[in-house]
A and B are shown apart, each in its own frame.
Chain A
């Protein structure tokens, strides 16, 4: 019975959980099980992430129609685990499919920041890669990689839906290589893997 609110029970749940956790952690580290579990879990998470890439339901310009066609019945991206979600909080991939104007630079950065880690960005089409046919425009940024770190570039104007699906395949290969690291510490590749260049 205390009148200052302090709980004298040694086995209250919070302390119990912390104690058990610390003891287990030490035991696992000592027996090297922690590394094994870490590797297995990492592999499992990596497999789960790359096999179910959820892009954001964002259609900027013409490449969005090819994205829609890739999701339709002829090319069917959904059999690869690609399923479009409307809210950025539920997505893994930001598929940028059009030119970024000065007005849209702020919203797309916000969408990128709202996406939880791990996340990747695919630049689809010429406009997202370098400004495309509008490279001279006063209102279009020269590529989305001026504001967002891009992982896969898919050239084409617009790229065929098969190219988009292949782009997702390249992203899956990249995820195997680099694992699921946060984008700030992701190593920038010296030699980018260009689609169609094998």
Chain B
């Protein structure tokens, strides 16, 4: 049948990595089982203080083979009790070793997926860093550890406003370059155009304006 990672191997690898993360000061992790349609997958859900993020990132990359930074999510929580900003790093271990080569041609090593174990098992890791209420939230940059974090950090700063210490050449990537300094659209105080547009209309499908607004277009 088709290739598939053995779920037991994934669970074991996830547990050992979670234990290793929890041993670092300021970081903690646990195995979380997520559903995926008809099957489950075992992932790691961790959290970390901003001060220990850099050490955790370096340990993950050098000792545990986490070689792929998938995405960085920034969230603004103005009403949450314990945090105002949150940065979530989605990392992955691809578990593939470099293909060998012979006579200058790469010989792809086709992985026998069912027999992967230990430090070679692909894993999904989620590290979330909560930041307190501050006008200038910032987290240490990991641009030099994973090149894939480079543009993700630019985007998080551009849209959410979370700065990354040590990030070279920070610039606007999605918003125009002339966007005013300090404008980060995904912060919760900025509302969408026609925010609450459902209240403009009298009926569910949005054909008739309310009687007081009859004749208006916008």
- A residues sitting closer than 8 Å to B (CB atoms) are 101-103, 135-139
Instruction: Please report the C-alpha to C-alpha distance between residue A135 and residue B190 in the assembled complex, in whole angstroms.
Output: 16
User: Contact between A137 and B175 (Cβ–Cβ < 8 Å)?
Assistant: no
Residue pair A103, B176 in contact (C-beta under 8 Å): yes
Known: A102-B176, A136-B197, A139-B175. 16 other contacts (CB 8 A): A101-B176, A103-B175, A103-B176, A135-B193, A135-B194, A136-B192, A136-B193, A136-B194, A136-B195, A137-B192, A137-B193, A138-B185, A138-B190, A138-B192, A138-B193, A139-B185
Q: Which residues of A contact B192 (CB under 8 A)?
A: 136-138
CA distance A67 to B175 in the complex (A): 27
A103 contact set on B, CB distance < 8 A: 175-176
How distant is the Cα of A102 from the Cα of B185 in the complex, in angstroms?
14
Residue of A nearest to B185 (CB): A138
A101 to B193, CA, bound (A): 14
Q: Quote the shortest CB–CB distance from B199 to chain A (angstroms).
A: 14
Can you report 17 residue pairs joining A to B where beta carbons are below 8 Å apart? A101-B176, A102-B176, A103-B175, A103-B176, A135-B193, A135-B194, A136-B192, A136-B193, A136-B195, A137-B192, A137-B193, A138-B185, A138-B190, A138-B192, A138-B193, A139-B175, A139-B185
Question: Nearest chain-B residue to A106 (Cβ)?
Answer: B176
> How close is B201's CB to chain A, nearest CB, in angstroms?
14
Complexed CA–CA distance, A137 and B195 (Å)? 10
